[in-house]
């Protein structure tokens, strides 16, 4: 089975084409759904995932927190790898905002559990 590396988005760098697209992107106010790039990205993500809608969040930390809060109710427990970024650097958020506790299981050297 092929493993997907989800350790971090910092293990890759943007290509020249990506940088050009960023520099030429049309901008708008996302608070009022006025940023066409964000709107297209959210629509594309929702379509590809077969969902009604998608939400772009500004950081991986916020995405991890929103994801765990979406799947776990207050007082629930989440299982995390003992070397997972969410456990090592973000675990305070899930307990502070969601009342969610974590249990850790050992990660393998390649990051899988």
The model's pLDDT over 20-50, given as tens digits with 9 standing for 90+, comes to 999 998 888 877 888 998 999 999 999 999 9
pLDDT attached to residue 12: 76
pLDDT attached to residue 59: 86
pLDDT attached to residue 9: 66
Stretches where the chain sits below pLDDT 50 are none
Give helix 85-98 / helix 60-71 axis angle, nearest 10°: 60
Mark 58-74 as b/e (b = at least 16 C-beta within 10 Å): eeeeeebbeebbeebee
pLDDT attached to residue 103: 93
Residue 38 neighbours by CB under 8 Å, 6+ apart: 28, 30, 56
pTM: 0.66
Residue 14 neighbours by CB under 8 Å, 6+ apart: 22
pLDDT attached to residue 2: 79
pLDDT attached to residue 70: 93
pLDDT attached to residue 32: 82
């Amino acid at each position: 089975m092929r493993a997907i590396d989800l350790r971090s988005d910092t293990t890759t760098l943007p290509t020249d084409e990506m940088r050009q697209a960023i520099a030429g992107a049309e901008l708008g106010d996302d608070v009022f759904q006025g940023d066409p790039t964000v709107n297209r990205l959210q629509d594309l993500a929702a379509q590809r995932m077969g969902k009604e809608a998608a939400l772009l969040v500004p950081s991986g930390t916020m995405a991890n927190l929103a994801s765990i809060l979406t799947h776990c109710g207050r007082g629930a427990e989440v299982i995390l790898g003992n070397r997972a970024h969410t456990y090592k650097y973000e675990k305070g958020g899930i307990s502070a905002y969601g009342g969610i506790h974590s249990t850790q299981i050992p990660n393998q050297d390649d990051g899988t559990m």
